[in-house]
Every structure is written in structure tokens, then in C-alpha cells.
Amino acid sequence: MPAKQTPTDMFIQFASLQIDLTGVLLLSILKNTGLSVRGGLMWLIHWVELYQSGGCVGLAAGGTEYLALSTLNGLPQIPNVGDKGLIAREDFFSTMVTTGASDAWARRRTPFFPPMPLAAPHLVFYARRNVSTTTAPVYCRVGYTTTHLEAKEYAEVAEVWAFV
């Protein structure tokens, strides 16, 4: 009898997170992935989108909105580039206001080529505004496929995420 095959994705899947950000608080939301480094599966992240409805129009003059996706939960501040566990981060400034229909959204897509391997048990979406005149929600969408994680690949994935 053949060994049981773990399914992999042929087409891209989506993981979405939303925070109803009010005021100038640092908020986060956790999404379980169902993965573990020794679980035999990993996500290959092809891109991450960070965006908000209302665009930068809702930010008061001099306002900034910070959005980040990480593998670490309970951080006291928005993770920075170079911090362990950071997948993507974008800062939106009130001076980014544009004209026309694009005012409705402020959006940034971070592509990964080759895809970023992920075997973390959860994703954490962080959001903070320093000044605000809006309560517009913020969103994160991850485009990924699932694939096998062989024992020999464990060390490589652990190296990407500074587990070693």
C-alpha cells in the first residue's frame, strides 16, 4: 500500500486578517496557520498586501499608519525591518493622498520571488496610527500555496526565520 500523500496546493490560497483600528492604539490580531516546523507542511508566501479602506485621506495632517505582519505575538510595538519574525511592513503617511478613485484605498503589495517559506503556527497582524481622524479598518491578505516540508528542508526554513 502506498504511503499517504499530504496534499499540496495547485493554485494560490488566501489568508485574510482585519483590524478595526480606532484612535492611536497599537492593536494586533492572530491567525492560526495550523503549521509547525516539524509538521510536514509549509506555506510558500508569494505576496503580502497591507491596506486600509479610506486611504490616507483619513489620517490627520502629519499622521502615519503603521502596518506589519509577523510570526511573533505580543510585541510591544510595530516590528521593524530586521526584527525576528517580520514578514512585511508598510508605513502610510497623510502626505500620500492622491486624487480620484484611488483615494478610497491605500495599498501596498510586497511580492516574494522566490516565495518565502513559512512553517510558523500563526501569523500576527499589527496596526497603529500616531494621529487619526478615522476609524477605517485595516487589512492584510497573504497569497500562499501549501507544500511538503521534508526533514532535510527543516534546517533551511529554520535559518530563514532565525530559529538556529
- Tell me, what's the pLDDT at 131? 72
Q: Which of 70, 150, 146 is nearest to 115 (CA)?
A: 146
4 domain residue, yes or no: no
47: which 3 cell numbers? 505576496
Nearest to 105 by CA among 57, 47, 48, 64: 57
If one counts the domains in the chain, the total is 1
Is 140 part of a structural domain of the chain?
yes
| 9 within domain boundaries | no
Within-domain flag for 5: no
Return d(Cα 68, Cα 63) in angstroms, integer. Answer: 17
pLDDT the model gives residue 101: 45
The confidence score (pLDDT) of residue 1 equals 41
Instruction: Look up the CATH number of the domain holding residue 98.
Output: 2.60.120
- Residue 117 lies in domain: 17-160
Q: Are β-strands 64-70 and 122-129 bridged in parallel, bridged antiparallel, or unpaired?
A: antiparallel
Whether residue 130 is contained in a domain is answered as: yes
Contact call for residues 111 and 29 (beta carbons, < 8 A): no
> Is 53 inside any structural domain?
yes
Distance between CA atoms of 11 and 146, rounded to whole angstroms?
9
pLDDT of residue 136: 73
Residue 32 inside a domain? The answer is: yes
Mean pLDDT of successive 10-residue stretches along the chain, which has 164 residues: 60 92 82 84 93 64 83 92 91 62 64 91 90 75 92 77 60
